[in-house]
Amino acid sequence: MDLAVLIPTKQYRYYFECLSKEEAAVYDAMLSGLLHYSKEIVCHGCTVSQVQKIYHFLKLDVPELFYIKNIRIKYFTEKASHCTVIPEYRFTISQTHDTLISMSRHCRELVDKYKQCSDFQKEKAIHDYIAMTVKYKDTEAPYSHEAPGAVLYQIGVCEGIAKAFKYLSDQLGLQSVVVFGASNEQGNEGGHAWNLVKVNGVFYHIDTTFDTTISSSCIRYDYFNLSDADIQSSHHWDDELPECPKTFGIYEKMGCYFNRGRALASFIRNASPMQKTFVFKLPRTFLDDEMIVASIKKLLQSNIQCGSQNYKQYSLSYNLKQLVFQVDLI
């Protein structure tokens, strides 16, 4: 049973490109061994620490390796350039094969619909698919940190969601990278995973986990195609990554970016009576966060009641790191 045939032939492997010649050879040997369920994989030309790094890179580059639980490394000395990798497999090769087939079938409609579309259309389709179907949930199931959790069972944590984004990107021919780093979005620094994606020759940060969990009433794009500079207020990473030089203004493209109060007021007053949720983004100004929120509340209070909606109350939520606001009319 050959698992290699179930992996896209043009799968983008960024971390492989970061390796030396000797490390790349071990990467290939380890990947071949893991795909064939080898009991032991002999690695030449790399130290134990290099082999550990290569295994980490493999798991980021190839989301189909969800069936590897862990590896043990046998060696004589830590600095020796010869060691043996002993994988621990979660499932039988038959179970893994069936899961990969199920994943392919499950996303077939998405792939068939967007295969010939632009990079942006593919990326947005993947983002929206995950946002609409996946619930952030940490479980004891082996899939919550792996791609099948999100693709097949609609659950996952940030690692599983990022790997699912990578898996779907590979299926659609997009170049995507799984990033491991940290985030302080909730006020506490903690480990986090997200993606880079290459759209029309330019890399961007995209955090589908944050966009999925930030609202339950609509799809958000707060962390969709951000530059290094625009995401660094909440995300940090140590690995060397491709540069993300600019932000793609999706809220501006959607007509939901306002740099003037009058334009925002007009947007609210003239919205469809059926629209119960507004999402909009503001530019960074000299005002502090409290002043911005107070100004938005005052503007909403005076414009919702004189607009086309028959609502007198609203709830306001906001992401001040990205200056995105959501209004739900009650």
- CA-closest candidate to residue 75, choices 87, 85, 61: 85
107-248: CATH topology is C8orf32 fold (3.10.620)
Cα dihedral 292, 295, 296, 297 in deg (nearest 10): 120
Q: Where are the domains of the chain?
A: 3-91, 107-248, 252-329
Whether domain 3-91 has CATH 3.30.1370: yes
Write the DSSP string, 231-265: HTTTEEE-S----------HHHHTT-B-SSHHHHH
Q: Under DSSP, is residue 266 helix (H, G, I), strand (E, B) or coil?
A: helix
Threshold 0.85, pTM exceeds: yes
Q: How far apart are CA 201 and CA 216, in angstroms?
A: 33
pLDDT of the residue at 5: 93
Q: What is the DSSP string of 25-59?
A: HHHHHHHHHHHTT-S-EEEES--HHHHHHHHHHHH
Mean pLDDT estimate for the chain: 91
pLDDT tens digits for 259-308?
888 898 888 777 766 778 889 999 987 678 888 899 888 888 877 665 55
What's residue 310's pLDDT? 57
**Look-up: residue for tokens 């893994």?**
96
